[in-house]
A and B are shown apart, each in its own frame.
Chain A
Amino acid sequence: MSFDIVAVRRQFPILSEIIDGRPIHYLDNGASAQTPLDVINAVRTYETTGRANVLRGVHRLAERATEAYENARVEVAKFLGVQPMEVVFTGGCTAAINLVAYSYGQLLKPGDRILLSELEHHSNIVPWQLLRQRSGIELDMLPVTLDGRIDLTALPRLLTNKTKLVSLAHVSNVTGALLDVRAVVEAARVVGAKVMLDGAQRAPHGPLDLPALGIDFYAFAGHKAYGPNGIGVLWAKPELLEAMPPFHGGGSMIGRVTLAETTWAPPPRRFEAGTPPIGPAIGLGAACQWMAALDWSAAHDHEMALVQRLMDGLQEIDGTRLLGPASLQNRYPVVSFMLDGVHPHDVAQTLDSFGVAVRAGHHCAQPLMDRFDLDGTTRASMAPYNDNDDIDALLAGVRHAAKTLR
């Protein structure tokens, strides 16, 4: 089946925006994706016909809000291939990882170890460093190969029976490399370690089957997956959620409160203290429905064709280098590159004047930049609505930067 790019683009109103007489070439999806009408309409429907707090009210608006909020949980669960009660709404992907670092971290003892990698986003490093300060756990780091993949040959050396958790990016936000989850899970099982994936860069590229992956925790962000800001998801195996103490205390997460003590609500409520981000959750539910309706086999082929076009075009520009896998195998549409003699921020600024939105800098992955001794990279990250014009505009901008800035 051919991929109807025009029909997909039509669903994203912002793509027809004109700025300074130029169309938008939005290639910063790895930072935040754009949002389709279905999502905008779902949030609007909540705000205009069902706005109220969830769970507590008995009036009809509260019932509408609660129903829409819980339906969103069902849609997210379907998207992940899991049960709704295993889905915790958080403020974002970072919040989800912090939740695990705090609550699962409470179950760890001094001397226990957590295994990360050199290519992690800061959000999958700093929460564990904070846990280390609080509880005396130790951190180990998997190295990164020259082509920007986590070097799994180091797993036997770094996994010990002290390792309680392996937490890695499902897809790198810098190199686009897809993790070999099976290899990680198999190795982790041998020592009894749990596996968590930071799915921020994978979830925007189609439905998942988390039970089939054999992992224990999964986190992703709504705004990178065509949903609103301020919403994220933590999925965890039910027995883990059941064993974990709360992260935040407040309303909705309790069983019974007395002045002497409080009992906890069962998951997921236990981890959703206070009024949750109701509208954003409803929007994310709609985003998951939107993603589920897309033909991802065709969409992935389309995205990868854009990656190939971009990599081919960059190779023709003198002094460009890629950071990441050179092939399309086991990767997602995130492409980082350097233009010799031109700082990435200057490349990105030039691209902006061509109407091209990219991200430049360290991508919240400073240890990875240190690994390759780089100031940063320029990163193009694609979504199904991107087209050849976007790539060609980017290439024109890079050629201009190469000509004028060095």
Chain B
Amino acid sequence: MSDQLYQERIVALAKARTGAGKLPSPTKSARRDNPLCGDRVTIDVTVDGNGKIAEIAHQVRGCLLCQASASALASVAVGRDAASIVDLRHDAERAIGRESGEAHEPFAAFAPVRDYKSRQECVLLPFEALQDALS
């Protein structure tokens, strides 16, 4: 059943909409599309003098997995620099089974996506946008 995919924690992350919206005056913004499914993520950030994220907001036109991932990312992104976001991405990749090892919260919630290869890019798209914005 798809209920195995759409487990409560993923649905809750999506519904939380942490960081959903726009920033009034972002330092950087980036938009990424998944050409296969049409999902689109736009991320705004403000970055402090040390290259650390001070504020983050995202607009997701995409599925529940993409929304949940953006929400999870926004919940832990503040205070992190680009290298630290790469670490978070590894965590997400571990959660969905693309890398070995144990994933930490909040991305551990995405473990059910392991069995749905066609949906894994949905989880990673917010990272793509954020990494673009920070580059």
Could you list which residues of chain A lie within 8 angstroms of chain B, going by C-beta atoms?
342-346, 349-350, 352-353, 361-362, 366, 369, 375-376, 404-405
What are the interface flags for B28-71 relative to A under an 8 Å C-beta threshold, 1 for contact and 0 otherwise? 00000000011100000000000000000000011111010000
Is there contact, CB below 8 Å, between A350 and B38? no
Which of B3-11, B81-89, B92-100 faces chain A? B3-11
Cα–Cα distance between A362 and B39 once the two chains are bound (Å):
9
Please give, as numbers and ranges, the residues of chain A lying within 8 Å of B119 by CB-CB distance. 345, 349
Closest to B122 in A: A345
Closest 8 CB pairs of A and B: A353-B2, A343-B63, A345-B63, A362-B38, A350-B2, A353-B1, A346-B64, A375-B61
Binding site of A, secondary structure by majority: helix, strand, loop or mixed? Answer: helix
Cα–Cα distance between A405 and B119 once the two chains are bound (Å):
16
Is there contact, CB below 8 Å, between A404 and B3? yes
Please give, as numbers and ranges, the residues of chain B lying within 8 Å of A376 by CB-CB distance. 37-38
Given A349-B2, A349-B119, A405-B11, A343 and B64 contact (CB-CB distance below 8 Å): yes
Closest to A350 in B: B2
Closest to A353 in B: B2
Please give, as numbers and ranges, the residues of chain A lying within 8 Å of B64 by CB-CB distance. 342-343, 346, 405
A367 CB, nearest partner CB in chain B, Å = 12
B96 CB, nearest partner CB in chain A, Å = 15
Please give, as numbers and ranges, the residues of chain A lying within 8 Å of B5 by CB-CB distance. 349
Q: A352-B2, A361-B37 are in contact. List 7 more A-B contacts (CB 8 A).
A: A350-B2, A350-B6, A361-B38, A362-B37, A362-B38, A375-B39, A375-B61
Closest to B38 in A: A362
Please give, as numbers and ranges, the residues of chain B lying within 8 Å of A404 by CB-CB distance. 3, 6, 11
The CB with the most chain B CB atoms within 10 A, among A342, A349, A362, is that of: A349
Cα–Cα distance between A376 and B66 once the two chains are bound (Å):
14
Cα–Cα distance between A349 and B66 once the two chains are bound (Å):
14
Please give, as numbers and ranges, the residues of chain A lying within 8 Å of B65 by CB-CB distance. 346
Please give, as numbers and ranges, the residues of chain A lying within 8 Å of B67 by CB-CB distance. 343
B41 CB, nearest partner CB in chain A, Å = 12
B130 CB, nearest partner CB in chain A, Å = 20
